[in-house]
Structure 1
Amino acid sequence: MNQKPIRDTYLPYGRQWIDNDDIEAVVEVLKGDFLTTGPFVYKFEEAIADYVGAKYAVSFANGTAALHGACFAAGITAGDEVITTPLTFAASANCILYQGGTPVFADINEKTYNIDPKEIEKCIRPRTKAIIPVDFTGQPACLDEIGEIAKKHNLVVIEDAAHALGATYRGKKIGSISDMTMFSFHPVKHITTGEGGMITTNNKDYYEKLLQFRTHGITRDPGKLLNNHGPWYYEMQFLGFNYRLTDIQAALGISQLQKIDQFIERRTKYAAMYTEAFINIPEIITPFQDSDGVSSWHLYVIQLDLTRLSTDRAEIYRTLLDHNIGVNVHYLPIHLLPYYKELGFKHGDLPISEFLYEAILTLPLFPLMNETDVEDVIRAVKETITLYSKGV
């Protein structure tokens, strides 16, 4: 592109917001006695459980580890099938493979981009053990319908809410509804611990399994020990993993959580600015909002009507990058990744996900942006669409 970029500096699609309070919270830990798992980890878990309205919360080194822990707690083993969506990050399905299970992909709803309950029903077989719905972009999945399906077939629901901390579904906070719910604290998410994840649950059995799983399968609980040689004694009772969060990370998370309402308010405001700017542009389909759920707006994803454009999504992407607008694509459907193709999945298996993948584009959205940044994105998108519009 020969014309002058709209922005002089690059605007990423997502970025953390770290302030002096966050830095001071971490420094306090660095000056203390615990750097790894200690009192701040337990305080962070209590704070998240309280925020979402769940009885229990167990922290993990990252969201993927948390999903792995949830699959273990749900009893997923070799030969079990777990239904999930293809339009998500690979971890949503990889966690099933870690336990020897088999991912089964159900296609998505063309409006919400979330897993379609009707497609879930079609995928249920005798070996089906669980469902992993994903709250894509922060928009809650159809949790009541999914819950009814799970109850009917005696399945566990592990909700991947990596995008949805702070979202609500029919008046309830995400994290208090499903059997287990995973949150991610990667820097582009609503709050960050650098890397980190959390499982919330109301089930004590799952809670205790998660605690032990993240610590090598080791317990010191006298009530669970097969033997007891003394106060130093512990037992490794199954093969677990070292998936623990640190007090350094937890201190950052506690500080960040105090600002989450402010963060979500800004995300919601900027998303509304985008929708108002694009809703009457025929070449753009703005995000659909289900009346049952209130999104926490992790991502703002537009769909391009490629029949009205003289080019493909890749050229639109490149043109926006030339304007220093850090667009992205979420996601390449999992079943089209080379590793999953080797497992037998192929193009054509999930037509709605595949169609949308060719047309969706993620715009920058994070609380550290200001209104000028949003206006730059709007201007760049409008100019780019005008440049390639067929004028139909």
Structure 2
Amino acid sequence: MIISTIVLLGAMLLGVPIAFSIALSALGYFLAVNANLLVLPQQFIGQLGNIPLIAIPFFILAGELMNCGGVTRRIFAFALACVGRVPGGLGHTNVVAGMIFAGMSGSAVADLASVGKIGMKAMRDSDYPDDLSIGVITTTATIGPIIPPSINMVIFGSIANVPIGLLFLGGVIPGVLTGLMLMLMFAFLFWRRKVKVKAAPDVSFWRALREGFWSLMTPVVLLGSMFSGVATPTEAAILATVYTLIVAGLIYRELTWRNVVEALISTTTLSGAIMLIIGFAAPLGYVISRSQVAGGLSDFLLGSLHDPTMIMLATAVLLLIVGCFMEVAAAIILLTPVLGVALIATGLDPVYIGVMMVYTLGIGLVTPPVGLCLYVGSQVSGISLEKVIVAVWPFLIPLVVTMILIILFPQTITWLPNLVYAN
């Protein structure tokens, strides 16, 4: 296992793409112990044959189609009608719109690239300071992978054999709590800085509801089909894509064939990258299992930290550090066979572990140097990366506070899954 670790770190330092760095680390171990190399392709193909993974490209495609089909704009208008009249209304509007969109796409980047672009323009038009605007917009994107559906939870569930429906339900309360915390922080900063802005556009609630009704029904159709037992998470992802095509193409008539082709190309590129990482992580997971790393880590955690809360807090610190240097999906794929399995072995609730890992690693989306949302936020706003990083710092406080709350009170994660699936 030491050889695999050295090869993995060395390849990453040399700039080798993460998927191939993972593959090389597994190959290094097999060559060192003279193991049967046929296991490598068998593990690769076996992992990609996991049915729940089919949901990933469909969730990505649904998000891409929403961006160009008028869905996002209507969601933002509805959120503006709900909270736009309160002081600092456009900041709160971005959070509410981000939470609604999170119930459709499952991706932080899709959330930021769509809702963020509309929100940034609206806040500039109303004279909001750029740093305050991009700070709340960028950090709101982290809600995307928490509120169901969530691509990252699909990855964790498929690797750790945890029901994805339970993980989705476990993310609801932490996601809503995060949104409320971000709104409180924005309200405090808005008040403390005595920001003077133009009044938000006056949008009729009933008109916004009427025009955005079919858009707002997307998470209802998606989540309702899953939790009513009509569809599995995989089937629900396909249903969400079909529903988006119908709404954007036939009802709103804003989706063109060119939009569909561009969405398909973008989905193929992103899904292919994720699938390569997942596939190559399977042989590495085999190496980890063969080396009994998870068992050793579990014994260490139980031996040195007897309290479950202390175990999770120590794990959170580790995940925060990892999240600064590794993309979230890749970190979940790498850590789930080791850390995730070890934590489950200590007797902790697998749903609690999965949601906590996804949430904590998601904070890495807005922390340098690898934070992907920082780069997307810079691109969306036209603000330099350095200024985006400074603007985001105050909004990290509510994210970390929420992380601590869900660790101290596991019921925030487990209550809803236990309620829905009580039988």
The TM-score normalised by the length of structure 2 is 0.32
Which of the two has greater strand per residue? 1
